[in-house]
Amino acid sequence: MRAADAFTIKNKEITSIDLMESASMAFVKAFAEEVPDHETSIAVLCGKGNNGGDGLAVARLLKDKGYTNVFVYLIAFSSKVTEDYTANLKRLEDLWFPLVTVSKAEDLPELKEELIIDAVLGSGLNTELDGEYKLLAQRVNALNRRVIAIDVPTGFPAEGELRKDSVYLKADLVICFERPKINFFFPESAQAMKHFRVVSIGLDEDFIQKTSSSYQLAEALDIRGLVKPRESFTHKGTYGHALIIAGQQKTMGAALLAARACLHAGAGLTTVSVPESGLTAINTALPEVMYLDRADLQPDTLEKFKAIAIGPGLGTGKETADILKTIFQLKVPLVIDADALNVLGNSPDLLEQLPSGSLLTPHMKEFDHLFGAHQSWWDRLETARKKARELQSVIILKNQYTFIIDQTGDVTINPTGNPGMAQGGMGDVLTGLCASFRAQGYSAKEAAVIACYLHGKAGDELAETEISVAASELAGKVSGTLKGLIK
Ligand SMILES: NC(=O)C1=CN([C@@H]2O[C@H](COP(=O)(O)OP(=O)(O)OC[C@H]3O[C@@H](n4cnc5c(N)ncnc54)[C@H](O)[C@@H]3O)[C@@H](O)[C@H]2O)[C@@H](O)CC1
């Protein structure tokens, strides 16, 4: 993002002070939507870098917009100042804007304002907070006021490990510039912020798109670009035949859910392999779905499938390991989930035989069982990037924001989904979606991106009218949601 700033300044004939003004205007526009009451009393805490410069400009622009109670506190712990900070300070001084200088954390007056804008330190942070900055953050946190941070909360690193004992100036909302920071997507970010929203500040979009970044955020437009329309004269054979190997006597539902999702996501044919005791359930609940006896899971029968998903409710016994050994010999794209992942975690030799181009869908526990325990999500994601390259496979690392890591180690972040979806069976549905898109001919990465986005989006649509979302309901909804996405 710093490169995009520099490129925009150089090529758009915009000076850095104008870019700061543009960023501050974008902040104020979003702020006004969040805090419409112009009588709200606001304390703007400004450090001496460009984040502080934004704060000074924001204070002036808020006054211009009609906010009558804006007070600025200059956090003067450092002797270094940036040029744009100095220019914005001069603009405020010229307006006779009341300014309070705080040279030590203990000098911060007992703030009476209802709301605090945090512009102390932004993305220029290079170490954890300590000394006066740490004391200041602790003092402000103790006030329990509503805090809106500019770009990032003070003390919060844009990338790198988020340690549990670090101190941040906690924000209720972060209004950040142009793109969210990767660390916003980790569960540990909850220590520093509740929500974020992104505002455009006029950086050169072409440059941002072309600049290689290891992280991409999936957007509806990406899905529209990926999903191929259904053409005339196509038939069920065009859309592939998926096989789902799942379920035991007491976990038949997992197989049903995966098969249901696979069917509704558009696979031409869906077959499920469950114990024979599940046959009636399949025929009753999913009449379109076919059945394959476990005894028939032999190479010559399996070669005809366009994709095979394995794992939901399957158990971690020898049978699962034996089936994995068989399907690893095939040239059929694989989706590996749940108990199949746990079996691979128990036997590293088998994991080494994983065919390239496979799709693995672990949640945090399954991931750590496969690749070792991790203390932070940053580390976990780094391991996922390394393993995806080594295994030449795609990993869907499930989380509130799911990470899709491709064979080059690049990460696509999925933004859809909501807490209403925190119910058993959701993972089985995602596996069925992955199998469906793999069977329809999408690459492992494409299938993963479409499946994750669609899964969350269908859940979001259901959550508009429901507190919690049942997995079977979501599986039945995906076809309609997909239609809406590609319109
Ligand atoms: N052209 C640009 O680069 C733009 C930058 N913008 C703002 O500029 C911010 C980045 O500004 P800066 O790079 O000046 O840096 P900051 O304002 O984030 O930080 C100020 C200074 O603090 C010092 N510092 C770093 N780590 C510290 C620590 N642990 N404890 C104490 N001091 C520490 C550094 O010397 C840094 O220069 C962004 O977050 C954003 O708010 C916006 O104005 C948009 C345009």
- What pLDDT digit, counting tens, does each position of 416-469 carry? 999 999 999 999 999 999 999 999 999 999 999 999 999 999 999 999 999 999
The pLDDT value given to residue 210: 66
Mean pLDDT, the chain, as a whole number?
A: 95
The pLDDT value given to residue 14: 79
The pLDDT value given to residue 98: 87
Strand partners, 193: 171
The pLDDT value given to residue 228: 92
Domains in the chain: boundaries:
2-213, 220-486
Residue corresponding to tokens 């009341």: 98
H or E, element range at 194: strand 193-199
What does CATH list as the number for 2-213? 3.40.50.10260
Longest dimension (CA), the chain: 84
Written out in words, the top-level CATH class of the domain with range 220-486 is alpha beta
Q: Whose CA is nearest to atom 30 of ligand 1?
A: 129
H or E, element range at 473: helix 471-486
Q: Please report, rounded to a whole number, the percentage of residues in the chain having pLDDT higher than 90.
A: 88
Statement: residue 2 has pLDDT above 90: no
Is 399 annotated to bind a ligand? Reply is yes
**Do the first three CATH levels of 2-213 and 220-486 match, i.e. the same topology?**
no
**Residue 23: CB within 6 Å of ligand 1?**
yes
The 10s digit of each residue's pLDDT in 252-267 is 999 999 999 999 999 9
The pLDDT value given to residue 8: 65
Is 254 annotated to bind a ligand? Reply is yes
**Residue 118: CB within 6 Å of ligand 1?**
no
Angle separating helix axes 16-34 and 50-65, nearest 10 degrees:
50
Mean pLDDT of 90-111: 93
Q: Kindly state the DSSP code that residue 394 receives in the 8-state scheme.
A: E
Statement: residue 251 has pLDDT above 80: yes
> How far is ligand 1, taken at its centre, from the CA of residue 447, in Å?
39
Is 428 annotated to bind a ligand? Reply is yes
Mean pLDDT of 365-374: 97
Task: Say how many C-beta atoms besides its own lie within 10 A of residue 240's C-beta.
Answer: 24
Angle at 105 between CA 101 and CA 108, to 5 degrees: 50
Share in percent of the chain as helix, strand, coil (round to 5): 45, 15, 35
The pLDDT value given to residue 388: 98
The pLDDT value given to residue 205: 73
268, 439 contact by CB (below 8 A):
yes
Beta-strand pair 307-310/269-273: unpaired
The 10s digit of each residue's pLDDT in 374-414 is 999 999 999 999 999 999 999 999 999 999 999 999 999 99
Task: Say how many C-beta atoms besides its own lie within 10 A of residue 375's C-beta.
Answer: 10
ipTM: 0.94
Give the closest residue to 203 by CA, choosing from 442, 18, 353, 409: 18
In single-letter form, the type of residue at position 437 comes to: F
> How far is ligand 1, taken at its centre, from the CA of residue 152, in Å?
10
Is 202 annotated to bind a ligand? Reply is no
The 10s digit of each residue's pLDDT in 199-220 is 999 877 776 666 668 999 999 9
What is the C-alpha separation between 177 and 180, in angstroms, rounded? 7
The 10s digit of each residue's pLDDT in 226-242 is 999 888 888 888 889 99
From 15, 17, 123, give the residue whose CB has the most ligand 1 atoms within 8 Å, as the site to mutate: 123
**Residue 471: CB within 6 Å of ligand 1?**
no
Is 160 annotated to bind a ligand? Reply is no
Write out the two tokens for 377: 């999500």
Statement: residue 7 has pLDDT above 70: no
**Residue 147: CB within 6 Å of ligand 1?**
no
269, 236 contact by CB (below 8 A):
yes
Helix (H, G, I), strand (E, B) or coil at 157: coil
Q: State pTM to two decimals.
A: 0.90
Is 124 annotated to bind a ligand? Reply is yes
Write out the two tokens for 366: 């399954």
Ligand 1 atom at minimal distance to the Cα of residue 16: 1
247, 255 contact by CB (below 8 A):
yes
Q: Whose CA is nearest to atom 41 of ligand 1?
A: 51
Task: Say how many C-beta atoms besides its own lie within 10 A of residue 265's C-beta.
Answer: 30
Mean pLDDT of 298-319: 97
DSSP codes, 212-269: --SEEE--HHHHHHHSPPPPTT--GGGG-EEEEE---TT-HHHHHHHHHHHHHTT-SE
What is the C-alpha separation between 330 and 350, in angstroms, rounded? 14
pLDDT band at residue 126 using 50, 70 and 90 as cut-offs:
confident
> How far is ligand 1, taken at its centre, from the CA of residue 179, in Å?
16
Strand partners, 174: 149, 196
Task: Say how many C-beta atoms besides its own lie within 10 A of residue 63's C-beta.
Answer: 16
> How far is ligand 1, taken at its centre, from the CA of residue 50, in Å?
5
The pLDDT value given to residue 204: 73
